[in-house]
A and B are shown apart, each in its own frame.
Chain A
Amino acid sequence: MIDVRDLHRSFGGVTALDGVTLAVAEGERRAIIGPNGAGKTTLFNILTGELAPTGGTVRLAGEDVTGRRTFELARRGLARMYQRNELFDPLTARENVALALTAKAGPYRFGGIPADEARAADELLERVGLAGAGATPARALSHGQRRQLELAVALATAPRVLLLDEPTAGMSPAETARIAELIASLARSLTLLVVEHDMDVVFRLADRITVLHEGKVIADGTPAQVRGDTLVNEVYLGKVIAE
């Protein structure tokens, strides 16, 4: 579904991605782990077309989409939950979701807001644990609720591929458990790429794990293989688990 070849990206003198190659099959759940600054978010930014790579190619469902604009990739079924929430702060939670739900219907509609829209949005809000929050402005929600809304917005476009950038960051253990369960309950046909620091979540969710370090893939395999990898334990897992 996603096929990345020899991706490079640098910012001035900083090399964020240094030849990343990675293939994710349709319906696979792939975790991408690695220390801060490893290039995980940069990889996502290139996958969504928000950043151009300085080298390499990205294929989506077999088609070369390198350099395509973000909205085109979104229309091909790519959705994303950002590491730092990207919401419409003054708009209500319901409106945030509705804008995602109606993206396919297009913006050039000049009649009233369809009456069934609110119900569809509320159903999705309920699914992510925000029942009853529909009329609350996004900016008035707690951090945990904003993460849930961010996920609802990403799900509302009915994507084929979903990129989750640290979905549980800053959440309480209860909230983390809940959102991890929700992600686990998503349709198996959905291709998932998850960047996550909570190893319980990663090992529970992932079919395969890719480990990034200083812009390079240092390991790629099943959870059991990655857990047994000495290099991975040295640069990342050892530290995370010791914490």
Chain B
Amino acid sequence: MSRIAGLRPRVGGLRPRAPGFVALGLGALALVTFPYWSRDWESSRYATTVLRDILVFAILALSLDLLMGYVGLPSLGHAAFFGAGAYAAAIASQRLETEALFVTLPAGVLVATLLALGIGLFAVRASGIFFLMLTLAFAQMVFSFAFQATDITGGSNGFAGVRRPELFGISFSAAEELYVLVAVSFLATAFVLWRITRSPYGRTLVAIRENERRMRALGYDTRAIKLSAFALAGALAGLAGALSAYSLRFVSANDAGIGTSITAFVMVLIGGAGTLAGPAVGAAVVILIERVLNSYIPFSQTVLGVVFVVFVLAARQGVVGAARTAWARARG
């Protein structure tokens, strides 16, 4: 077996992969410019909004997958960082009376990161179902705080009237420009995670998932490494939260609630944990069922539930995993 693997010519260098990169680049360009080239469509504005929300949740799901799929830490409290990022960006804009993207976006990411460091310090000591329960409990604390701290967050009324950002004179207040900001953020997140999964750091995360005991015996401080991944995932969830606040111009305690955590969790599972495309596909499937299908058929939430059950029972590896398996089988 090893002999055969060794003999198979390695597809390396730029040339054989160049068509792939060109296609990926064109796809990225098409994604970012979607509102402009779809302008003549009857439903262009609606489609732009749906796509924007898919991409916001895709960032959230990608960040959660770093924990679930790579480190093997299934979190049911990831919305805490999404909510923290959303509130922090909104509150920074309000209190500092600024729309500057380079103030409000870092505020969202920073607060989410610090919160993740604080929660992670305790959470990464646990694993499996205990990690799940611990993250859930911490997120519920964040939710309760957001729900009750009316002076800061708007409490049960939510935080309305979030201002859309601007950067060096470019305003992102129009739907098209805001969409571009979200799409670029999504691509940047996907690129960063793609690099990470191919770096020594990313391999370390997978190795901890596979055998933490061996990693400790090799001299890796696995607790610190898991904490770093938890903070990184929190930072990216905070980015998604800030983008959500700009998009909806509204933040509610539910953004940090169990419903949002479960949505992200389901997106990762449906799309395929441990893959990069999976969470994005999962975000698309879930949002399309929730939003688009909802206007054609009743009980879209029930449909979503059924889809989820089918995936858990029949396709553990999610859409992307199942597609890969089918592709490998087709090639022999």
Contacts and interface: CB of A to CB of B under 8 A. Distances in A.
A54 B222 CA distance: 25
B5 A112 contact: no
B316 to A, nearest CB: 15
A112 B199 contact: yes
Contacts of A114: 200
B2 A95 contact: no
Nearest to B192: A110
A103 B5 CA distance: 26
Contact of A132 (B6, B200, B207): B6
B206 interface: yes
Interface string A86-110: 1111110001001110111101111
A114 B299 CA distance: 52
Given A109-B200, A135-B5, A86 B213 contact: yes
Contact of A113 (B198, B220, B225): B198
Contacts of A91: 203, 206-207, 210
B198 A71 contact: no
Nearest to B212: A86
A102 B207 contact: no
Given A90-B210, A95-B203, A103 B1 contact: no
Interface in B149-167: none
Contacts of A90: 210
B193 to A, nearest CB: 11
Contacts of B125: none
Nearest to B3: A132
A79 interface: yes
Given A91-B207, A132-B6, A135-B2, A111 B199 contact: yes
B219 interface: yes
Interface string B61-104: 00000000000000000000000000000000000000000000
Contacts, number: 96
A99 B204 contact: yes
Contact of A99 (B2, B196, B207): B207
Given A108-B228, A113-B199, A103 B211 contact: no
B46 interface: no
A132 B219 contact: no
A70 interface: yes
Q: Which of A69, A79, A82, A100 has the most CB of B within 10 A?
A: A100
A103 B221 CA distance: 10
B198 A112 contact: yes
B217 to A, nearest CB: 6
A54 B247 CA distance: 58
Given A71-B219, A103-B219, A133 B2 contact: yes
A136 B2 contact: yes
B273 to A, nearest CB: 14
A70 B198 contact: no
Contacts of A86: 211, 213-214, 217
B225 to A, nearest CB: 5
B222 A71 contact: yes
B210 A71 contact: no
Given A75-B219, A135-B2, A107 B211 contact: no
Interface in B1-31: 1-3, 5-6
Interface string B179-216: 00000000000000001101111011011001101111
Greatest chain A CB density within 10 A among B6, B213, B219, B228 is at B219
A179 interface: no
Given A50-B213, A107-B204, A132-B3, A99 B218 contact: yes
A79 B217 contact: yes
Contacts of A107: 200-201, 204, 220, 225
Given A50-B217, A107-B204, 14 more contacts: A48-B217, A70-B217, A71-B218, A88-B210, A88-B214, A89-B211, A91-B203, A91-B206, A99-B204, A110-B195, A112-B198, A136-B2, A140-B1, A157-B218
Interface of A: 48, 50, 69-71, 74-75, 79-80, 82, 86-91, 95, 98-100, 102-105, 107-114, 132-136, 140, 153, 157
Interface of B: 1-3, 5-6, 195-196, 198-201, 203-204, 206-207, 210-211, 213-222, 225, 228
What are the 10 tightest A-B residue pairs by CB atom distance, in nearest-first order? A74-B219, A107-B204, A135-B5, A136-B2, A86-B214, A109-B200, A70-B216, A88-B210, A103-B218, A75-B219
22 contacts: A50-B213, A50-B216, A70-B216, A71-B216, A74-B216, A74-B218, A80-B217, A87-B211, A88-B206, A88-B211, A89-B211, A91-B203, A91-B206, A95-B203, A99-B215, A104-B219, A107-B200, A107-B220, A110-B199, A113-B199, A134-B6, A135-B6
